[in-house]
Structure 1
Amino acid sequence: MRWFETPNFDFNGSRKIAYAISGILFVASLVAIFVQGLQYGIDFKGGKEIVLDFEQPVSVVDLRSELAEPLGNAPEIKLFGSESEVLIRTDNESPISEVQDIITSNIQSLYPDNPFSVEKTDVISARFAEDLKWGALQAVIYAIVIIFIYILIRFRNWTFSAGAVAALVHDVVIVLGLFTILSNHVPFSLQIDQAIIAAFLTIVGYSLNDTVVVFDRIRENSNVHKGMDFMPMVNKSLNDTLSRTVITSLTTLFVVAVLFIFGGEVLKGFSFALLIGIVLGTYSSLFVASALVVELEKRTTKSK
């Protein structure tokens, strides 16, 4: 990484291009979310789940394909403890007994030589799902509010808090928008469930970590280079931390990419959210959070 030993990129000089890119992605994501709507899993909209225990291992892909038509849409299917135990989740509105009959009869025709038993059945009510949805939303909102307060206390400057929170909201909304746009165009589930909420909170933490490193260097440089204008000082701080930012992002990206490729169907949505979030978090740390701090500082100085 010798190329990053003495970088001198003009990040703030490119901030208007970054504003345009972020603005287009942000608005497109909001439009997709409000027009197409988020694709919720049964955790957040209610449904039925059935656990089956087979004598021999089965294919999750084959099961999903076989059950999609009789259930009305593709169910959520994942291995449950072993390769012969399967968890099936569906939002089919029929009574649980009818849903169980549909599933068992179609699976018997798919695997006539592989007997199975029903281990358990559960119904997730719409009220319980609504409570989960509200709890997940609260978790994200509380995390952002606490982060705002933490940055404000640590750096004693509200512009740093505003820049950090704006970057976090930017990342989460764009990931949600991409999930909405791509939900019908990828061969794996991008429904919003509890695992995806965990991914969003992970993205928030990752993006914040990068942003705080940059802000720390800005504070250090403001003490060392007291006569330097604020914008060049922010640019210097971004270049000072660039090597660390790139190495951390690439190594994390490699690990999550392996998880996405080899982690199985159940982790596809979670790892896909992290892949997008790492790229967006790195971008927002370099071009969104610090750029907003520069803009807010300029306006604050002018008003004084």
Structure 2
Amino acid sequence: MKRVINFMGIRRVAFAVTLLLTLVSLASLAVRGLNFGLDFTGGTLIELNYERPVELSSVRTKLGAAGYGDALVQSFGATTDVLVRLQGDDPQLGEKVASALRQSASDNPVTVKRVEYVGPAVGEELRDQGGLGMLLALGAILVYVAFRFQWKFGCGAVLSLFHDVIVALGVFSFFQIPFDLTVLAAVLAVIGYSLNDTIVVFDRIRENFRLLRKVELVENINISTTQTLLRTVATSVSTLLAVLALMLFGGEALWGFSLALFIGVLAGTYSSVYIANLTLIWLKLTRDDLIPAAVEEAETDLRP
């Protein structure tokens, strides 16, 4: 057998790091909260069309000089289309913004294509539904893993996913990075990604309980994690490279989405190795939990 890495040898250090990150994230969420974007708080969305391509930085500068420094400016399809998001419910806000831009750039005419207002009630409903969706996803995962493996595995998977979500939300809260629907979508995607990694390790642990009958749980976890390490590293690195490309070249519209994915992939890789496996140790998973004694005796009798 190839060399086995003693992952669980530093499990106390890993637990301390996990506890610290989780507490800091929860404290930040409780004290600072999330910096909800217009999708959740309500506001006005203005789509502008320029006659010629325009730089987003120049649009932001002109809006700031006109008193709209909090405006979120991003490209929308073609380089001549710009999307502006602003707080406020003034029905004339779109024309006021376009007028301010026309005065500062008469050489590149701009027209208003559409103006939409998202009320705070709608934003609050989106926020509540998004939180409920995450809770339902975690509950469904608990039921699935408990049915597919065993309830102790289900607890490990949910604790692992809970850590990933809390850490990602904690980073957005601590640095007050805008949290909108695209970030929420990334957090939900992280749940699926992290679960996939965890299931691979769990499946190998269950298999090794049958193959390595004299191996204790901690050693089984070390062996199983080592056996799946190459697959985990390859998947995580390739995903991080793709997400990093989005962060660097995706523009402002995809920055929050890609950042949440980047944090989630890192946290998910870590939690699949430590948090999920540590939960199995805390709950004292045994061979009998997966292989009833009668079945094990029957398998032994059938061996030559």
Shared fold (TM-score, shorter chain, > 0.5) = yes
8 Å CA contact 2:152, 2:285 repeated in 1: no
Which of residues 178, 182, 199 in structure 1 aligns to 2:186?
199
What is the TM-score normalised by the length of structure 1? 0.89
8 Å CA contact 2:47, 2:112 repeated in 1: yes
Q: Could you tell me how far 1:94 is from its partner in structure 2?
A: 5.1
Report matched runs for 1:82-161 at 5 Å.
Answer: 82-91=78-87, 93=88, 95-97=90-92, 99-155=93-149, 157-161=150-154
SS at match of 1:176: helix
Q: Could you tell me how far 1:110 is from its partner in structure 2?
A: 3.2
* Alignment gaps of 5+ in structure 1: 184-189
Cα deviations across residues 21-54 of structure 1 (Å, max 9, x unaligned)?
1111111111111111101111111111111111
2:163 is equivalent to residue 176 of structure 1: no
Provide the C-alpha distance between the structure 2 equivalents of 1:71 and 1:140, rounded to a whole number of angstroms: 38
Provide the C-alpha distance between the structure 1 equivalents of 2:143 and 2:120, rounded to a whole number of angstroms: 35
Partner of 2:13: 17
Provide the C-alpha distance between the structure 2 equivalents of 1:87 and 1:20, rounded to a whole number of angstroms: 44
Provide the C-alpha distance between the structure 2 equivalents of 1:180 and 1:164, rounded to a whole number of angstroms: 24
8 Å CA contact 2:43, 2:89 repeated in 1: no
SS at match of 1:96: coil
Partner of 1:276: 263
If you compute each CA radius of gyration, which structure gives the higher value, 1 or 2?
A: 2
Provide the C-alpha distance between the structure 2 equivalents of 1:229 and 1:83, rounded to a whole number of angstroms: 61
* Alignment gaps of 5+ in structure 2: 289-304
Taking only the aligned residue pairs, the percentage that are identical comes to 36
**Matched length:** 287
Provide the C-alpha distance between the structure 2 equivalents of 1:143 and 1:70, rounded to a whole number of angstroms: 44
Partner of 1:77: 73
What is the TM-score normalised by the length of structure 2? 0.89
Cα 1:7–1:38 change in 2 (3 A) is farther
Q: Could you tell me how far 1:70 is from its partner in structure 2?
A: 4.6
Cα 1:68–1:15 change in 2 (3 A) is farther
Q: For the aligned residues, what is the CA RMSD?
A: 1.8
Q: Could you tell me how far 1:101 is from its partner in structure 2?
A: 4.3
